[in-house]
């Protein structure tokens, strides 16, 4: 993949126009302004020191507008992820349609890292702060699953079928590992990051090949289990049908209509 180092006139996370910028600056919609404000603050101070009132003030919105846009500070990270999703998807092209799946996925995920590059200082602080918070990590995992579903779709990779969820979670974990390298990779060429991404994709390919082999080998057993399950369901339906032939008032002094008890 050919990469262009970031030029000096590209904006960093602290340079994006926000709702609270000086007069004359382009005013962003509240949701986007709040995301940009959080990322600016996160680049400068610890995550746990940032209050929602601080974000609202930085974004130039009221607390009422903040609440209308997001329910919490963490939810703003979900908004950030969707913003990055949109940038990557809008930048997609059909140039790699004929390339192997590995190359398409590599390109999509590198474009995701490129889109996040202006926010790298903020993401480095946020990742450090949330590393020991299992509840936050679980919530972010769901955000990542939603994002990677669209990244895989952009690469022409299906996430449906018996192994779809496994494939999707695998990409989330792999990309998280790559991000750990990327956050510490200050080389404009990102050689370490690209090597890590290539390695994770190849490992994922091998894992999915083994998973597909296991699925094929266990297909007869799954078919037998499904047949036994369906047989049990049919038996229960027959038993229920027999019970339905009885008078619904039998043994019930109020009759079969629940409204009779009113």
pLDDT tens-place string over residues 7-54: 444 444 444 445 444 443 468 999 999 999 999 999 999 999 999 999
Q: Which residues contact 68 (CB under 8 A, 6 or more apart)?
A: 30
Tell me which residue of 138, 140, 144 sits closest to 109, measured CA to CA.
Answer: 144
Give pLDDT tens digits for 142-154. 999 999 999 999 9
pTM of the model: 0.71
Instruction: State pLDDT tens for residues 191-249.
Output: 999 999 999 999 988 767 665 545 445 445 445 556 656 666 666 766 665 555 445 44
Q: What percentage of residues in the chain have a pLDDT greater than 70?
A: 69
Q: Which residues are CB-neighbours of 176 under 8 A, at least 6 positions away?
A: 144
Helix or strand holding residue 154 (H, E): helix 134-154
Residue 12 is predicted with a pLDDT of 43
R_g of the chain computed on alpha carbons = 26
Q: Answer whether residue 109 shows pLDDT above 80.
A: yes
Q: Tell me the C-alpha distance between 13 and 36, whole Å.
A: 7
Residue 256 confidence (pLDDT): 45
pLDDT-derived band of residue 158, with 50, 70 and 90 as boundaries? confident
Return the H-helix or E-strand segment holding 100: none
């Amino acid at each position: 993949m050919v990469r262009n180092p970031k030029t000096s006139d590209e904006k960093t996370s602290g340079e994006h126009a926000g709702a609270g910028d000086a007069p004359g600056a382009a005013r962003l919609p509240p949701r986007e302004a709040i995301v940009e404000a959080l990322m600016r603050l996160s680049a400068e101070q610890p995550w746990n020191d940032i209050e929602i009132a601080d974000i609202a003030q930085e974004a130039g919105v009221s607390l009422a507008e903040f609440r209308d846009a997001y329910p919490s500070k963490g939810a703003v990270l979900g908004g950030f992820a969707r913003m990055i999703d949109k940038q990557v998807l809008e930048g997609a092209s059909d140039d790699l349609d004929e390339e192997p799946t590995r190359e398409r996925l590599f390109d999509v995920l590198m474009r995701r890292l490129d889109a996040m590059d202006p926010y790298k200082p903020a993401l480095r602080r946020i990742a450090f702060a949330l590393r020991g918070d299992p509840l936050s990590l679980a919530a972010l995992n769901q955000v990542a699953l939603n994002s990677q579903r669209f990244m895989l779709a952009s690469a022409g990779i299906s996430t449906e079928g018996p192994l779809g969820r496994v494939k999707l979670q695998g990409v989330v974990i792999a990309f998280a590992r790559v991000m750990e390298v990327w956050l510490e990779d200050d080389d404009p060429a990102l050689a370490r990051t690209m090597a890590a991404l290539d390695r994770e994709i190849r490992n994922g390919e091998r894992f999915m090949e083994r998973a597909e082999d296991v699925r094929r080998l266990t297909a007869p057993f799954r078919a037998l289990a499904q047949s036994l399950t369906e047989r049990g369901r049919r038996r229960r339906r027959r038993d229920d049908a027999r019970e339905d032939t009885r008078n619904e008032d039998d043994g019930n002094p109020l009759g079969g209509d629940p409204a009779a008890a009113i």
